[in-house]
Each structure stands twice: as structure tokens, then as C-alpha cells.
Amino acid sequence: MATEVQSLLAIDIGATNTKVNLFDIVGGRYRFISYGEAPSTAGAPLFDIGEGIWEAIAALERKSHRKIISEEGALIAPSTPENTGVDLVVATMSAGKPLKVLAVGLQQDVSLQAAEQLAATTYARVVDTISLNDRRSESERINLIAQTRPEVILMAGGTNDGASRSLLNLIEVVGLASYLQDESHKPHVLYIGNEELHSEVKSSLSRITDLHLAPNILPLVGSKTLYPAQKEYFSIFKEVRKKQSSGISQLLSWTNGQFASSATAISRVVRFLSKKYEPDKGVLGVDLGSQSTVFSAAFDGEEALRVFPYLGMGTGSPTVLERSSLGKITRWLPTAIPESRVEDYLHQKYLYPASVPTEPGELALEHALARQVLRIAVKEGLKFLPDGARQTQPDLLPLVEPIIGSGKVLTEAPSRAHSTLILLDGLQPTGVTTLALDQNGLLPALGAVSPHSPLLAVQVIESSTFLNLGTVIAPVGYARPGTPILRMQIQREDGRRSTREIKYGSLMVLPTHQGEKVTLHLRPLHGFDVGMGGPGRSGRVSAVGGALGVIIDARGRPLQFSSDPERNQKRNQQWLKILQKFE
Amino acid sequence: MTALPKNILPLTNIRRERVLPILGHVVARRLQKVTPTNVIVEANLKPEFILLDVAEGLNVSPRRADELLQRQEGDELAQGDVIAGPVGLFQRVIRAPFPGVIRIAGEGKILFEKASQAYELQAGLEGTVTSIIPERGAVIETRGVLIQGVWGNQKVTYGVMNPLSQLLDREVQQDQIDISHRGSIVAGGFCTDPEVLESAQAAPIKGLILGSMSSSLIPTARKMAYPIVVIDGFGKRPMNRAAAKLLTTNQERNVSLNAQRYDPYQGNYPEITITLPVSEGVGFPPEAEDFTAGQDVYVTSGPAAGQTGSIQRVLGEKYTFPSGIKAWGAEVSLKSGNTLVIPLANMRVLNQ
């Protein structure tokens, strides 16, 4: 099937916008052709994803001069020699209210933590947790379930030859509480614990809950396997979404019953790239959405996917204030904006998530918010890194190559310098990496396509779908500002050589043409670490110039701030100016 | 591009489905005339249960405990009523720890639900119950004024409209609300001072309608006993002219204030309705349409937020705004006299 696909339509239903992307074969290779976009209609007042999809396809048809929908209103599939229609449709979705999940496990720091980790792999909110350590009585646990009314209960615990009795007690509690819910609120229970108890679990829960069984996420002591459970968990996500918004059934008829959560699709691409690129480094993908943020890191195929519901640039913006102080947002501003205005802006953004910043002050505010959202995502995301991740310091981003940034706040920023600085400030990469921008918002589409047409995914990724913003060199260590911390020898393709001394606290750009290859010999001083195998270790790097050249970010990790807001504002202005000079 | 509406309508058909998220007991009847505070449906949103181990309490096997049960599932009990027993030398019994209902009984255990005060869902508007949704709620209809808000402190009331000024364009001052406003629904421009909300409570007023409010007042506003509805959003902006005009021209009329929370997923907005004595022939407001020239619009965000105007023309290509952002926009002639290019994403079609 995969080899027969010529043209493909990828539909991504976001919280704010619905986007359709068209891919086809051009010159013997798959290429991204065009896109169409429209406001999402999954929620009020239409509650029908179809409206947004039709409008987005209409926009695509106008742009690409290609008919996708027939006069009768049906999808034209397969494609015709007259260049109408498509061969395959895939879909991803992040729209909708995050699932209400209750995580149940035996031990708080083992099975419960794993259940919570699984919960965070899609657009879901853990409303509460139950474990043997929580000291609640059985009655209190029943009350908790009855009052929170979770849509999904994730039940983990016990290795396959391990604990059973305590787990059966918890199963009884879940069963009793589920029995009390009315038919429309019966939870989906995903059992991901000791597999030896499958028959007991079935007999206790199958008649009173919507029971799903998946392989144990902790089959043996010290081993964790989330992936098969993730698949089952996502099928629950799909069922819940089908009930919430009409139009999904029609979409499924177009996609042969297949559709993925946008986060799952993004993580597929990240995982794939982690196998393809430098094996000793990981790959990081971040998607800054309106309602949620996705943090997906993978290290040689081992992934850490974390979706942060209610943390984003639109409906997710006031929640940033619950997770960090207002000062943590305003520290990123280039000019003084009263805190009351910042707070009002974030609350207004919740009301109108699709609104566009028209004034420079509003733009600065949105970009400050984006940085802080990324800071929160990094801090939380680091907690679940796989063993293969190499970090220069435990609280810093591990060594990754590349970093792919996605989301409208990045792709629709007024300049590439803006997008680059948001990523640099928000993520604070370490060592040597490449910043790439998912300029056409194709990450979810490529992830959704990859199981059907891996070749398409590979060829589109290899074309210039991700814009190289620049190679980043970020030494890690501490010194007084102005202290030389790195000597860098630069050798260009034409043979020219030069040397630069980098001082602590600086941000500078080595100008290169887009795609120009340079060889850099990095010699860190004073025990600084550039990811070459440890503090003070030198090495040679082949870098490819991006939209901004090669960026040397010696501002320190983590970035330090002054207690004087004016100094921070000036510094933020300077940093943007430095990058803008080389655009 | 699909344009969502902002409803500020002097006369429209209003139909609202008032339902609970769980099963409950519907107390409203079809064709019943209701006021906003009338209860439509009630249910226990926070049920409390206790699991009683009868077998352990009576020191018998689960099977024997089941035989000793004197009550069955569904029985309503008063505190102290015997559930199971007596057994043994001391005629041991298990009693109801509080008033409630036996929900599950068997295998030596009883799951007992504590009787508690039910949550009551109010009508939220004055009107007629046109249909009952079994075990969930009812549909209420009326005709009259509809003003859609954006934020509410989750309370409902009904009272006489009492605007603080004609334009509702100024900040509400503490000394503006006095005994003359007692028992009425007060409308004002904007509010930045928590003391204003506190003194309105002391008056006491029945409800408050604001154009905008500082977001820092949200915690105080939530604590107030009276409903507060914000129409335009957060900040220091006067109330939009269309809403201000409707509120001031309906001074002295009875107003329904439903300060329900804005729910972007369900599409529930806080709202103000005024039932008017009109007969048939009034339509429902459109739910969504496309932006076109000549349309009245409401600006949601940016420097002109809260203003109304009409579209002169929808631009054929993306426009670069002072922020540097490129976006689809339209040239809008604002009621304030200015003509500006405003992003389509920052506007709603004004149903007025």
C-alpha cells in the first residue's frame, strides 16, 4: 500500500486552527506542495470538526489550483490523471478538552509515576492519583473517583510475577466507584499492571467499565515499556473525542479509521530522527500550541513524550501564572510593561486564543510568554528523560541534535531572529546543536504519514521542510562576565581560516551563508563544557550555516537575570538586535 | 474565514439548554414560567460514600454477614438505623453512621451514601420551559435583549437595571455605589479597585455588570455573594457602546444576570437577558458566518479592543501590523471615528 501512494492529504485539527497539507511526487520525489488553513470548529458553536476541515480544504484548493472535493461534496480518492484528488488521507488532532485521567498505582514512585508518565503522552489532565502510599481509606478512594468523575482510569502496578493482592484491592475500589457512575459517565479503565491478573481484572471490571487491557508498563523490575500501552491509551482518546465532536466519523471514513493525536505524531518524527542522526545525541521537538505544549525528546529511539495541557499561547496562557510567577514572564520583556497589563493580556488571550498581537508591546508580551512556557516544559520534561540522554548538568537540556521548534508563535514571528531567540531563551540548549523551525507546521502530518508511507516522510524531511535557523554553540560552566571561555578556529569551505575568542556572557553570530559548511575547532577554557565528552574537552565540529549563520551563545546556563528589570530589558533588546543584524 | 459572533441584541429569540453534567432530578415542568433563580434540576455533584465492612463489624464470615442484613440496596436510612445483626452474645449490630442510602450490599460489605444537600441548577434566565431533558435539565426560551459577556463569577440573579451613567465609559468609584443602588443590578464602565466590589456587597446590590475589570480582581470577584458579569474582557476599557446603549435604554427593567463561567469547550457564556413582551416572528442569532464588507464587527483584542465598527473591505492579502506580524485583516471603520486595519482573528461579527 505504502508504495502506491502518490499524493497525500494530511489534516491536523488544532485547538485554534485546522490545517490541511498536500504532498505529492514532484521530479520523482515526494514534496510538500501546499496547505490550507481555517479556524477549528471542534468546539462551540459548531461542535463539528467537519466545518473547519471543509474550509481549510477550500483554502488549499484555491491556493494549489487542485480539486480535492468533487462537485457532489465527496473526497476525490484516489487521485486522477487530471491532477485532482488524493490517494491517501491522514489526520491528527489536538483540539478538545484534555481528557480527565485518574492515575492508580501501587507504589507512588514506581508504578504510579509510570502511569502518570503514560497519562502525559496525550492531551490529558491527571485530576488525581491513588496509590498504596496515599494513606486514604477505601471509602475515601471511592469518594475521590465518584467526585472527580475521570473519563479514563489508568491502573498500573506489579511486575508480571509480582504483587497481586494489593492490586486486587485497588481494582475492587475502582470497580465499586465505577459502578456508582451513571451510564454516560462510566470511565474507560486502561489496565497496565501485572498481566497475570488479566482474568481477575476482566471479571471484576468488564461489565461495569469500558475496560481496556494493555501489556504491563513495568513487566520486570527496572524495565519500563510505555509504547504498547500508549497505543491503547490513544484509542481511548479517539473514542472520547468521537463522542465530543461530530465530523470525526466522516474523517475516519476518509482515513480508513486511522488518526493520531498530534503529540503522538510529533513524537514519531522525533523518534525516527533520533535513529537517523548522531547516535550519541538525542533529538528534541517542541510544539507551542494554543492550549497545550508538546515536549518530545528521543535518544536512539527511546523517547520521552510529555504533553502539557492548559499550558500554551492561547487558552493555556493564564495557567502559566499558576506554574510560575508573573516576574518569570516579565523578565523576558525588552521594554517595561506594567505587571497589571501583562496579567490582563494573558486573561484576555484565554478568551480570544486566536487573536494576533498587532502592537510591538503585545508581541513582546507573547514572546515573553512563549519563553516561559518553554522553560516550564523543559523543567518538567527533564524529569522523564530516558537513560540514554547525556546532560552536561542535571538541570539543563541534554545534548540534542537537532532541536525542532513548531507552533505559530515561532513560525509567524516577524523575523527569524525572533523565533531563534525564543528557542534559545526558552530551551537554553547546551553544547553544539542545530535549531530548526517547522516552518510549514508539518511535524504532526509527517508523523501521521510515516506508518503509511515512510518514504514520503523521509523525503519531505530531507527536502528543506525544516528551516535551519542556525548551528548553536552553547558552552556550559561558570565564569565572571567578560572572561574568555572558548577559543574557536573557523575553517571555511574556500580555505579561509580565522580565530575567535568567546567571552562569558556574550551572544554572537558567525555570519555564514545558508547551507554553507564550516569546520569549527572548539577549545573550551576554564573547564567549560561544549559537549565534547566533558568539561574542558576540545573537539572539531562540522557546522552548516542556517538562516542566522552560526550562533555562539555564551550567556551561561541557566541564564541569569538581574534584580534590576531595566537591565534585563536592555539585555533582551541587545540580544535581539545582535541576531537581527545577521538575518 | 469563519467569523464567530458577539451577541449584543435588542430583540432576539433566546433558547438555552440548562443541564447538569450528571443525572439528576428535574423539578421544572414543561411550559412553566421561570425566573433566573428558579431551580430546574438538582443532583448530588459531590456524593460521599462510606464502605462498611459488615462481616468484620459483626465478626462473621461475609456470607453470614449477608444473611444478617436487615436492609437492601436502595433503602433510605436515618442515622442509627440498624443495617445488619443482631448477632452473638452481645447482640452486636451495624447501624447507619449518618442518614443516607444503601447503594451496594453484598459479600459482607455495604456501600452507604451519605445524604447531603443537592446542588441546584438555576434557570439562569426569565422565560418558559419549552421541553424537559429527562434526568438532566430543561430547555428554556424567551424573547428580548441578549448581551453576551466573557467572564462571570458563577452566580445568578434577577433584578432591576440601574446603570451608573449613560455611556458606561468611566471607572467605577467606591462612592458611586450607595444605598440608592440597594437591591438593583448596577452597570458600570470598568473596575480596578477591590474596595468597589466590597462596598457593592455592603450596599448590598443584587448584581454588577462591567465593561471590563482588572484581572487582579478575579479572586475578590469570585468571593462576592452577588453575580458579576464582565462584557468585554480584562483591563481598563469602557463598556462597548452597543452594550452600554442597550443597558441604559433598559433602565428600570427587570434583568436576568447569569454569571456562569465562560466555557470555551461547551460554548457557554455569561449573559444578560431582558425578557420583552413581543409575540412571534423573532429569529435566532446566526452562529457563524464569513467576514464580508458592510458587516458590523466587535474588536476583541489589540488597541481597539472593545470597540465596534463596520468592515469597509476585507483585504485580499496578508497585512503587516506594527508588531511586524503578518495576518489576514480588514479595514474597519470604528464608531469612535477612526478607520483601522484589524486582523480578522481579532474580530467577531457583531449581532446587534
Tell me the one-letter amino acid at A40.
Answer: S
Cβ separation A343–B302 shorter than 8 A: no
| 3-class secondary-structure state, position A231 | helix
How many other C-beta atoms can be found within 10 angstroms of the C-beta atom of residue A458?
16
Which 316-355 residues of chain A touch chain B by CB within 8 A? Answer: 340-341, 343-349, 351-355
Cβ separation A39–B216 shorter than 8 A: no
Prediction pTM value:
0.93
How many other C-beta atoms can be found within 10 angstroms of the C-beta atom of residue A482?
10
Cβ separation B2–A185 shorter than 8 A: no
| 3-class secondary-structure state, position A216 | coil
Cα separation of B267 and A403, whole Å? 37
Q: Burial code of B126-160, b = ≥16 C-beta within 10 A, e = fewer? A: bbebeebeeebbbbbebbbbbbbbbbbbebbbbbe
Residue A75: exposure state from Cβ atoms within 10 A (0-12, 13-18, ≥19): middle
Which DSSP helix (H) or strand (E) runs through B196? helix B194-202
Which DSSP helix (H) or strand (E) runs through A267? helix A262-276
Which DSSP helix (H) or strand (E) runs through A497? strand A497-503
ipTM, 2 dp: 0.92
Fold equal for B2-43+121-275 and B291-351: no
- Whether the ω angle into residue B219 lies within 30 degrees of 0, i.e. cis, is no
Helix axes A416-427, A360-381, angle to 10 degrees: 40
The pairing of beta strand B207-213 with beta strand B184-191: parallel
Q: What is the pLDDT of residues A474-492, one digit of tens each?
A: 999 999 999 999 999 999 9
Cβ separation B323–A363 shorter than 8 A: yes
Cα separation of A38 and B37, whole Å? 40
A4 touching chain B per CB within 8 A: no
At residue A247, the pLDDT reads 86
For chain B, give the percent of residues with pLDDT over 90: 88
Of A352-366, B278-292, B335-349, least confident by mean pLDDT is B278-292
Question: Does position A2 have pLDDT exceeding 60, yes or no?
Answer: no
Question: Does position A187 have pLDDT exceeding 50, yes or no?
Answer: yes
| Nearest residue, CB atoms, A358 vs list B262, B267, B322 | B322
Nearest CA in chain B to A412: B325
* Domains of chain A by start residue, with CATH: 2-93 (3.10.20.370), 99-244 (3.40.50.2300), 264-581 (no CATH)
| Domain B2-43+121-275 classification at class level | alpha beta
Interface test mutation site (partner A, options B16, B45, B51, B230, max chain A beta carbons within 10 A): B51
Cβ separation A347–B218 shorter than 8 A: yes
Q: What is the pLDDT of residues A70-95, one digit of tens each?
A: 999 999 999 999 999 999 999 999 99
Tell me the one-letter amino acid at B259.
Answer: A
Half-sphere exposure of A269 (CA within 13 A, CB side): 35
At residue A53, the pLDDT reads 95
Report the residue count for chain B.
352
The pairing of beta strand A302-308 with beta strand A400-406: unpaired
Which 516-555 residues of chain A touch chain B by CB within 8 A? Answer: none
Q: What is the pLDDT of residues B163-222, one digit of tens each?
A: 999 999 999 999 999 889 999 999 999 999 999 999 999 999 999 999 999 999 999 999
Mean pLDDT on A314-327: 91
DSSP state of A534: S
Cα separation of B292 and B289, whole Å? 9
CA A359 to the chain's CA centroid: 28
CB B185 within 8 A of CB B157: yes
Return left, alpha or beta for B168; rule: phi > 0 is left, psi -120 to 50 is alpha, else beta.
left
Which 68-127 residues of chain A touch chain B by CB within 8 A? Answer: 96-97
Set of chain A residues whose Cβ sits within 8 Å of the Cβ of B234? 343-345, 347-348, 351
CB A233 within 8 A of CB A115: no
Cβ separation B302–A358 shorter than 8 A: yes
B134 touching chain A per CB within 8 A: no
Cα separation of B148 and B171, whole Å? 21
At residue A164, the pLDDT reads 84
Set of chain B residues whose Cβ sits within 8 Å of the Cβ of A355? 300-302, 343, 345-346
Here the cell at position B11 is: 430583540
Nearest CA in chain B to A177: B49
Nearest CA in chain B to A51: B2
DSSP state of A112: I
DSSP state of B262: P
Cα separation of B312 and B296, whole Å? 10
How far away is chain A from the Cα of B208, in angstroms, using its nearest Cα? Answer: 20
Of A343-357, B36-50, B136-150, B280-294, least confident by mean pLDDT is B280-294
Q: How confident is the model at residue B89 (pLDDT cuts 50, 70, 90)?
A: confident
Nearest CA in chain B to A411: B325
Cβ separation B47–A146 shorter than 8 A: yes
Cα separation of A544 and A513, whole Å? 9
Mean pLDDT on A512-521: 93
- Name the nearest CA neighbour of A103 among A168, A173, A155: A155
Q: What is the pLDDT of residues A262-305, one digit of tens each?
A: 999 999 999 999 988 777 899 999 999 999 999 999 998 888 99
How far away is chain B from the Cα of A328, in angstroms, using its nearest Cα? Answer: 17
At residue A3, the pLDDT reads 47
Q: What is the pLDDT of residues A138-162, one digit of tens each?
A: 999 999 999 999 999 999 998 898 8
Cα four-point dihedral sign B274, B276, B279, B282? negative
Question: Does position B335 have pLDDT exceeding 60, yes or no?
Answer: yes
| Nearest residue, CB atoms, B324 vs list A142, A352, A414 | A414
Cβ separation A180–B302 shorter than 8 A: no
At residue B85, the pLDDT reads 87
Here the cell at position A316 is: 493555556
Question: Does position B291 have pLDDT exceeding 70, yes or no?
Answer: yes
A52 touching chain B per CB within 8 A: yes
Which 362-391 residues of chain A touch chain B by CB within 8 A? Answer: 362-363
Mean pLDDT on A44-69: 92
Set of chain B residues whose Cβ sits within 8 Å of the Cβ of A49? none
At residue A4, the pLDDT reads 67
At residue A32, the pLDDT reads 93
Mean pLDDT on B224-252: 96
CA B201 to the chain's CA centroid: 20
CB A294 within 8 A of CB A305: yes
At residue B209, the pLDDT reads 98
Say which residue the cell 559548511 belongs to: A517
- Kindly report the CATH number that applies to the domain delimited by B291-351: 2.30.30.30
Q: Residue B202 contacts by C-beta under 8 Å, 6 or more apart in sequence?
A: none
CB A298 within 8 A of CB A283: yes
Average pLDDT, chain B: 94
Cα separation of A250 and A255, whole Å? 9
Phi and psi (nearest 5°) for A286?
-130, 135
| Domain B49-114 classification at class level | mainly beta
- Name the nearest CA neighbour of A349 among B264, B29, B162: B264
Set of chain A residues whose Cβ sits within 8 Å of the Cβ of B263? 44
Average pLDDT, chain A: 93
Set of chain A residues whose Cβ sits within 8 Å of the Cβ of B346? 352, 355-356, 358
DSSP state of A233: H
- What are the sequence ranges of the domains in chain B? 2-43+121-275, 49-114, 291-351
| Strand arrangement, sheet containing A99-104 | A124-130, A99-104, A152-155, A188-191, A210-213
CB A174 within 8 A of CB A155: yes
Say which residue the cell 486511522 belongs to: A258
Q: What is the pLDDT of residues A401-453, one digit of tens each?
A: 999 999 999 999 999 999 999 999 999 999 999 999 999 999 999 999 988 88
